[in-house]
Structure 1
Amino acid sequence: MTETADTGRGGGVERRVRVVLVDDHRMFRTGVQAEIGRTEQTGVEVVGEAADVDQAVTVITSTRPEVVLLDVHLPGGGGVEVLRRCATLMASADSPVRFLALSVSDAAEDVIGVIRGGARGYVTKTITGTDLVDSIFRVQEGDAVFSPRLAGFVLDAFASTDAPPVDEDLDRLTQREREVLRLIARGYAYKEIAKQLFISVKTVESHVSAVLRKLQLSNRHELTRWATARRLV
């Protein structure tokens, strides 16, 4: 894990990142854009905004940004629900969408909740524009970024639990097969899965057949029970 730096990274290489801003307060969204704009040559382009969970999922799916700035508390289920519904985008091998929580809350349960949901970092709204831009680029590059005191919550939370056991059955599946498995277990039809993953229905069928064969299951109902028991849904 890395903490946010005091200043943006230097160097002559121009960096670009496309960002979606998710927050239910319009004035705050406007303020973030203005603050980012004050940082000279940021290379950060805000390509979409959203004020609730449904809007967020729609905008993120349609624009596929590199980074999403995500508030924790949102109408429709909160930031954790956005993460859950965008799980396949986060898992994309080619162009993953990464999430950075940006919230007024510094409560441990909020921090742990979104990190377990898949966010790459968590910073509070007291962050400066320069530090925010630096955090966005760090998350884009795959770093885990936290405001200094919040990193301790995450370390304590994961240190207090045993490391998850190796699941040999799950390890047999490819990343794409795991994505299909999760969507099947959530009740998606083959056509819906194909649309979500930008693949054909025939390819979905092939993945499902492979998953059933590898896990020695007979049908999607057994598959759903298997996934639920492992909390993969």
Structure 2
Amino acid sequence: MRMTISTHDHVLIIDDHELVGTSLMLSLRSEGLRADWRGNAGGEEGILADVRRLDPGLVLLDLDLGRDRDGRMLDGVHLVAPLIDAGWRVLVLSGSSDRVRIGGALADGALAWVPKNAPLPALLRSVRAAAQGRPVMAPERRQQLIDTYHEQTTARSELRARLDKLTQREREVLAELAQGHRAQAVAERFVVSLATVRTQIRAILVKLEVSSQLEAVALYRRASGR
């Protein structure tokens, strides 16, 4: 059965995988929609520049958009707010199961999240609902993901505040420890004595209010979102 949606309702798929994007585009076109696919060429700025030249409609947005020409990771979450500001509705269609990132996209105004590995009929039903202005996911589930995002954001802010107590060199030492380097290797890296590095490590533990290097490294990684 075809979707009862106006063919004037534009659906734009933003996904770095051409096979996935074009396959979904053709499926939507077979349902009577005006659908197009856009890859990650030009990075975030290029994507937004192209999108702003189009009549707004519904975006199916992947959160993991690969890398730009400079090798930097492209995060679809950063596109949600600008897309909405440009008049688009955003449906997150992503293989990512990171509750914090999904919650961040929803907090920025995305309508809902649909797993990319959902069966095609389920994907089409979700697009139909979003295009018609109907809920795509339960409000309770949506709010739960948004709450998770806010909780994690608050926790990371508190961790970063503790890390801000460290000097620049102490942060560099902690970063080296987080990469698995031992104190001796850190001393050689910064051309200082082992005793100096051990003194810096003790200062790090005191300032972060932890009792071991493992705890300090774990705190550093949580604050970095790793």
TM-score by length of 1: 0.51
* 2:75 corresponds to: 78
Deviations for 1:109-131, whole angstroms, at most 9, x for unmatched residues?
A: 12101101111111011223322
Cα distance change of structure 1 residues 87 and 128 upon mapping to structure 2, 3 Å threshold: same
Question: Aligned runs of 1:14-93 on 2, under 5 Å?
Answer: 15-16=6-7, 17-37=9-29, 42-51=31-40, 52-74=43-65, 75=67, 77-89=74-86
Distance in 1 (CA, whole Å) between partners of 2:148 and 2:22 is 38
Q: Which has the larger radius of gyration?
A: 2
Distance in 2 (CA, whole Å) between partners of 1:83 and 1:159 is 18
Distance in 1 (CA, whole Å) between partners of 2:29 and 2:36 is 14
CA RMSD of aligned residues (A): 3.2
Question: Aligned runs of 1:200-219 on 2, under 5 Å?
Answer: none
Shift of 1:67: 0.3
Amino acid in the other structure paired with 1:78: D
Distance in 2 (CA, whole Å) between partners of 1:59 and 1:124 is 25
Distance in 2 (CA, whole Å) between partners of 1:78 and 1:159 is 19
Do structure 1's residue 155 and structure 2's residue 144 form an aligned pair?
yes
* 1:130 corresponds to: 121
* 2:168 corresponds to: none
Distance in 1 (CA, whole Å) between partners of 2:93 and 2:148 is 24
- Structure 2: 5+ residue runs without aligned partners? 69-73, 152-226
Shift of 1:153: 6.1
Asked if the contact 1:19–1:46 (Cα under 8 Å) also holds between the matched residues in 2, the reply is yes
Distance in 2 (CA, whole Å) between partners of 1:24 and 1:151 is 30
Greater RCO (CA < 8 Å, at least 6 residues apart): 1
Amino acid in the other structure paired with 1:22: I
Per the alignment, in what secondary structure is the counterpart of residue 145 of structure 1? coil
Distance in 2 (CA, whole Å) between partners of 1:159 and 1:107 is 11
Distance in 2 (CA, whole Å) between partners of 1:157 and 1:48 is 28
- Structure 1: 5+ residue runs without aligned partners? 1-6, 90-95, 163-233
Asked if the contact 1:103–1:125 (Cα under 8 Å) also holds between the matched residues in 2, the reply is yes
Cα distance change of structure 1 residues 66 and 108 upon mapping to structure 2, 3 Å threshold: same
